[in-house]
């Protein structure tokens, strides 16, 4: 079993920045991919950004050039730097890691962007 603990969410004005961090309970070298997803009430959870073990990244079109995902395998963390935030970025953000046979999710952290 893997525990994921997210932090860094909060309330920010449009145009501001936040940095989310997700700490895993075991070595992240065992995870092929690590990523961030988000969900608003009444909508499906959607991919925000993912990063592979080799460092290859993929972003949702809506966050390209504003968000940056990074992973630190020495610290067992995956971070999401969010800049130029917009009200439509408001959501609960979840960390997800891909294990060998199972995916693991964090509990989520709320990000609210005011206009």
Spatial separation of the C-alpha atoms in residues 108 and 78, rounded to whole Å: 14
pLDDT tens by residue, 34-59: 999 999 999 999 999 999 999 999 99
**Contacts within 8 Å (CB) and 24+ apart, 99-108:** 99/2, 99/30, 99/31, 100/30, 104/1, 104/2, 104/4, 105/4, 106/4, 106/5, 106/6, 106/22, 107/4, 107/5, 107/6, 108/6, 108/39
pLDDT for residue 76 is more than 90: yes
Name the residue among 39, 70, 72, 47 with its Cα closest to residue 57. Answer: 70
pLDDT tens by residue, 95-108: 999 988 899 999 99
How much is the pLDDT for 28?
82
How much is the pLDDT for 30?
83
Work out the mean pLDDT of the chain and round it to a whole number.
95
How much is the pLDDT for 26?
87
How much is the pLDDT for 27?
84
How much is the pLDDT for 1?
86
């Amino acid at each position: 079993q893997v525990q994921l603990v997210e932090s860094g969410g909060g309330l920010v004005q449009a145009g501001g920045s936040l940095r989310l961090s997700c700490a895993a309970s075991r070595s992240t070298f065992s995870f092929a991919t690590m990523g961030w997803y988000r969900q608003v009430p009444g909508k499906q959870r959607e991919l925000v950004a993912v990063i592979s073990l080799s460092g290859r990244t993929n972003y949702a079109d809506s966050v390209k050039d504003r968000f940056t995902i990074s992973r630190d395998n020495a610290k067992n963390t995956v971070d999401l730097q969010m800049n130029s935030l917009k009200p439509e970025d408001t959501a609960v953000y979840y960390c997800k890691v891909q294990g060998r046979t199972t995916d693991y999710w964090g509990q989520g952290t709320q990000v609210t962007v005011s206009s």
